[in-house]
Amino acid sequence: MKNKMLISPSVLAADFLNLEKEMEKVKTADFLHLDIMDGHFVPNISYGPDIVKFLKKVSKVPFDVHLMISHPLKYLDNFKDTADVISFHIECDDNPFEVIDKIVSMGKKAAIAIKPGTPVEEAFKYIETGKLYMVLVMTVEPGFGGQSFMAEQMEKVKVLKKKYPDLLIEADGGINNKTIDACREAGLDIAVAGTAVFRAENPEKAIENLR
């Protein structure tokens, strides 16, 4: 039987007025997913590194930081005390090889993310550096929570798991009790879930159900 799916709740769907209590609700999660947006790479602005620092004080879960920003190189240092895994988009304006090297030199786990319109083949040359911990496959257009899952993106997960069985694959966007089965079938390792966890009546139970 396949291992349990790892769950990374996305803070974007949390109650921002009660973040400390929200962290308590997801303490059984495998990671905490933190969406950083710059209003340029994506048409939305979320929260920044200072909020992530406050969250770090009240959460023991490893931090999975997802940078949806045009210039990751400029901001990586801001996550040196908080991030465990840092993913950035290969569609950004910096040189992805340089970004990977910088993340690794910080002692962090490096990951690349790909938007729905980016062919999976474009990830291969970065994976083949042997420096990546994870690849994040977007299952919605990045920028907003609460969108519908793009099932066809699971083809990318299948291709990646077949070609690189030891690499961790994460999917992000629209994952809930209905869409998680397609993720499991595709061989996904880590599921990000915002709405499905933080908006659930019982987030701890929602995490367990998704697993």
Closest distance between ligand DX5 and the C-beta of residue 198, in Å?
A: 8
**100 touches 129 (CB < 8 A):** yes
Decide whether 102 or 139 has the Cβ nearer to ligand DX5.
139
List phi, psi (to 5°) of 141.
Answer: -70, 130
List phi, psi (to 5°) of 107.
Answer: 80, 20
Closest distance between Zn ion and the C-beta of residue 146, in Å?
A: 12
**24 touches 48 (CB < 8 A):** no
Q: How many other C-beta atoms lie within 10 A of the C-beta of residue 50?
A: 10
**Stretch touching Zn ion by CB under 5 A, among 34-42, 82-90, 143-151, 202-210:** 34-42
From 30, 35, 64, 189, active-site residue: 35
Asked if 179 touches ligand DX5 (CB under 6 A), the answer is no
Asked if 193 touches ligand DX5 (CB under 6 A), the answer is yes
Decide whether 137 or 160 has the Cβ nearer to Zn ion.
137
**9 touches 26 (CB < 8 A):** yes
| Partners of residue 112 on adjacent β-strands | 88, 135
- Interacting partner of 70 out of Zn ion, ligand DX5, none (Cβ under 5 to 8 A depending on kind): none
- Interacting partner of 56 out of Zn ion, ligand DX5, none (Cβ under 5 to 8 A depending on kind): none
Asked if 172 touches Zn ion (CB under 5 A), the answer is yes
Asked if 147 touches ligand DX5 (CB under 6 A), the answer is yes
**29 touches 9 (CB < 8 A):** yes
Q: Mark whether 172 is an active-site residue.
A: yes
Number of residues that bind ligand DX5 (CB under 6 A): 22
124-to-90, 114, 131, 141, 149 alpha-carbon distances in Å? 11, 11, 12, 21, 24
Q: How many other C-beta atoms lie within 10 A of the C-beta of residue 208?
A: 12
* Distance in angstroms (rounded) separating the CA atoms of residues 85 and 63: 6
Residues designated as active site: 35, 172
Give the residues lining the site for Zn ion (CB under 5 A): 35, 66, 172
Give the residues lining the site for ligand DX5 (CB under 6 A): 10, 12-13, 33, 35, 66, 140, 142-147, 172-175, 192-196
